[in-house]
A and B are shown apart, each in its own frame.
Chain A
């Protein structure tokens, strides 16, 4: 086991922060990280890959007049950290002479330790043997419940991370994070017909999660979807109303609007919403929230990667834009107050304003009301990945869809991609159901891949471009 971080790092970090402050930096921040990752893959009746990965490193960021220099290193020796700091200072034309005194930095106090209660988590996680056994149980259930399955896969990922953040504004905090995810996927094939379906289940801060995972119901969900989609026709493309299912349907808000409410987008001038706080930007039925507090959710945090406790941030209330998601640099450069949203994949990335658990809040309708209101359209039961570009145009794929005809779900369809523009689509979310649910996901952006939650109730979009054949 690698040496863990503790108050004992105080003197080393204090010396670094004093060195940087003394050189004239507005703010110096040091992020230390230990990780212990385990990945397993089961295929059919075999474990085919077991992949433990360990990492240890530091990211040092220096701010001066709104600009920042960032250096990452795997060398956590005092010399290595000092070299990295000096390199970051030099980027801003600052030089540490070791003599200057900065009165604004008063030293680090006692460590705020969010990880104290979590020290046993890694030991309580499933062993390789336990995890292997559960995955093989999953692939066995797939075999039992599925038809025409050419490939059955189960995967497990455990990401344990210990971080220590120290900054010259006095921040000195430690945390331990634990994210686990378990997935099942299949490739069904029958002659020329093929369908590939996968589902992933994730949790935060729950060492025992894999032991309570219901392999049978997960397998049943995957097999049912694969069976339905095996002979589905390709969707007829065009403009149409769409009803998006709850849970992972929330990716539409994540891509269409969530990214555009990060202060990094204001900094780049890539959001149409920069000057619209207090204005109606979505349909009045839409209230949207980003928070880091929901128990066990993938995007929950005890503290962000800048040492700040997360908040519940109401982004949109009844269609009116309330505020942005902000990190330290975002607050400095845009004036939007930090929300505990400074996040990064690892020490190799500088933190940026990133979403946590982001969802559209529940409305008043029943899901069946939304479907009944559509004469001809598309029901998106399961969504794949998506992305948003610098002009706010977003897209995402539909994994499992059904036609809506005369207010009823009819034939399954595949091959649909939804594209749109945030400014145009948000006002078209005209109905929200009362069945809000959340789903674990991953988000890739400026500060790497991070764990997030997306979510929503069933929602209806009055018109959107559905690409397909």
Chain B
């Protein structure tokens, strides 16, 4: 039998029969199936059009000694499932007796309501036409913009499910679309500059294409008149997107798995301790209405929830899987993957001011006249962040703002320590902005090292 379509009850019955035949009583699995298409264009012509039908399954089994093994496969035929069960059984002989995951105690409780209606897909040729039109408009906006080397318009339909041998059965279906436009601009005798914008929506018909074009133009053209910046220590304002990317790179501070593994900046004793300025709050809200990729359950079937991570500057909670929650004596939080050693990660950060608290300042990046550096986008986080040490040294796109005038910064890095940064936040602006990474206001920080060519 060959199928790319996930019918949960059918899959459960097939796996149950195969598992029983293999002498496996205790098992669970996560499965995903998707149908995607995307287009790229190059100066009015289709560059590449892509489509994919993907299916995958990850199955865990518990052996007679109670140890867990896992296998993943893209082959959902009966032969493929049998092979996966056999591989998982074999791997279970090497299961870690000190850390045995179990079914989540919340895998069968009711799920939160998530209003994510399925949107119609347009198909690849309408996507192509829309992207050609968007590219043409972007190219027409400024003579220095000659190409949009990185662009893409995509839509997908996907199904995810979790089920286990105790009868848990979670399933969700969703549509999703994305658009990115990264333009390259160059003026005679000057270095080329590149920047762009991203938009996401439940369906390709709902994408804010005009907003994406406007932002890509603004961010690219604005950087043409760049200047080098002198190396020194600066007051810095992070845009919401930049701040969220930095916090995301240090998210192991909030991961109970990382704490137990000894690779987090936090320890068990960190809960309740001060981690940031008192007016900072940070939530992880996987159910947020603006979170396009929201799912009502995690890889272990635990319901997704809103969780306070920092309140009044203090660390309040860690992100948990079933196993880490058991180790901490709390409930799983809905942030787990599925594995023999279960990974834990954030869903959707929401940064804001703690109710009743205030920085006492009135900084506004659009009005401030004292000199500061506005960091718009951070690069190379995979290389420049040392999450286990707390340090970062990252190239960035941004502005030196002097007397209200914005001067684009050329070839510079910003460096610091995330713990010092959180303790040195001067101010959170009032407006929380939605980005594709989460929600945050502009965040002001005192005294960060900037290295430039000047």
Task: Identify the A interface with B (CB < 8 A).
Answer: 2, 40-41, 43, 46-57, 67-75, 77, 80, 84, 87-88, 90-92, 128-129, 132, 150-151, 187, 194-196, 234, 237-239, 267-270, 348, 350, 384-387, 389-393, 395-397, 414-417, 419-421, 465-469
Contact = CB atoms under 8 A, between A and B. Distances in A.
Interface in B281-315: none
Given A238-B451, A386-B383, A467-B451, A53 B72 contact: yes
B91 A52 contact: yes
B415 A350 contact: no
A91 B128 CA distance: 9
Interface stretch (B42-50, B173-181, B325-333, B344-352): B42-50
A108 B88 CA distance: 39
A52 B411 CA distance: 43
B442 to A, nearest CB: 23
Given A54-B71, A73-B53, A269 B146 contact: yes
A194 B389 contact: yes
Contact of B449 (A2, A396, A469): A469
B147 interface: yes
B199 interface: no
Contacts of B76: 74
Nearest to A383: B383
Interface residues of B, number: 78
Given A390-B182, A391-B193, A268 B150 contact: yes
B149 A67 contact: no
Interface stretch (B93-101, B109-117, B235-243): B93-101
B9 interface: no
Given A49-B340, A132-B94, A467-B412, 13 more contacts: A52-B70, A52-B87, A70-B49, A71-B51, A73-B54, A238-B231, A268-B42, A268-B150, A270-B149, A385-B383, A395-B395, A415-B386, A417-B413
Q: Which of A87, A238, A384, A469 has the most B CB atoms < 10 Å from its CB?
A: A469
A153 to B, nearest CB: 9
Given A71-B50, A350-B50, A50 B380 contact: no
Contacts of A51: 70-72, 91, 339-340
Contacts of B261: 43, 151
Interface in B69-100: 69-76, 80, 83-84, 87-88, 90-91, 93-96, 98-99
Interface in B381-418: 382-384, 386, 388-391, 393-395, 411-416
A46 B313 CA distance: 36
Contacts of B42: 267-268
A387 B389 contact: no
B361 interface: no
B51 A421 contact: no
Given A41-B341, A128-B94, A390-B194, A54 B80 contact: yes
A468 B448 CA distance: 10
Contacts of A2: 75, 83
B262 A151 contact: yes
A229 to B, nearest CB: 10
Given A52-B91, A467-B451, A237 B231 contact: yes
Contacts of B56: 74
B393 A416 contact: yes
A350 B40 CA distance: 13
Contact of A269 (B51, B149, B263, B453): B149
A459 to B, nearest CB: 19
A73 B393 contact: no
A196 B42 CA distance: 43
Nearest to A194: B389
Contact of B72 (A54, A70, A393): A54
Given A70-B48, A416-B393, A53 B71 contact: yes
A54 to B, nearest CB: 4
Contacts of B449: 237, 468-469
B440 interface: no
A54 B262 contact: no
Contact of A395 (B51, B54, B184, B379): B379
B149 A390 contact: yes
The 8 closest A-B pairs by CB, nearest first: A467-B413, A268-B149, A237-B451, A385-B383, A91-B49, A467-B451, A49-B341, A390-B194
Contacts of B88: 52
Q: Which of B50, B150, B339 has the most A CB atoms < 10 Å from its CB?
A: B50
B141 interface: no
B50 A74 contact: no
A386 B91 contact: no
Contacts of B147: 268-270
B388 A194 contact: yes
A77 to B, nearest CB: 5
A383 B125 CA distance: 44
Nearest to B50: A70
24 contacts: A50-B69, A51-B339, A52-B91, A54-B71, A69-B50, A70-B50, A71-B50, A71-B51, A72-B50, A84-B53, A128-B90, A128-B94, A132-B94, A187-B263, A196-B389, A238-B451, A270-B147, A348-B52, A390-B150, A415-B391, A417-B393, A417-B415, A419-B411, A468-B393
B126 interface: no
B193 A48 contact: no
B142 interface: no
A48 B90 CA distance: 15
A347 B393 CA distance: 36
Contacts of B158: none
Nearest to B184: A390
Nearest to A414: B391
Nearest to A46: B96
Contact of B49 (A46, A69, A234): A69
Given A55-B73, A237-B231, A385-B382, A196 B388 contact: yes
B337 to A, nearest CB: 12
A364 B384 CA distance: 33
B245 interface: no
B205 interface: no
Contact of A80 (B2, B182, B341, B391): B2
B73 A54 contact: yes
A251 to B, nearest CB: 10
A46 B98 contact: yes
B55 interface: yes
A378 B48 CA distance: 43
A242 to B, nearest CB: 14
A132 B93 CA distance: 11
A51 B343 CA distance: 13
A237 B413 CA distance: 10
A415 B72 contact: no
B97 to A, nearest CB: 8
B159 interface: no
Given A2-B83, A52-B90, A397-B383, A465 B452 contact: yes
B211 interface: no
Nearest to A72: B52
Nearest to B183: A390
B25 interface: no
B347 to A, nearest CB: 23
A387 B393 contact: no
B4 interface: yes
A467 B393 contact: yes
Given A48-B96, A55-B74, A73-B53, A469 B184 contact: no
B210 to A, nearest CB: 23
A54 B75 contact: yes
Given A54-B75, A74-B4, A397-B393, A48 B99 contact: yes
A222 to B, nearest CB: 14
A90 B128 CA distance: 13
B272 interface: no
Nearest to A393: B411
Contacts of B262: 150-151, 187
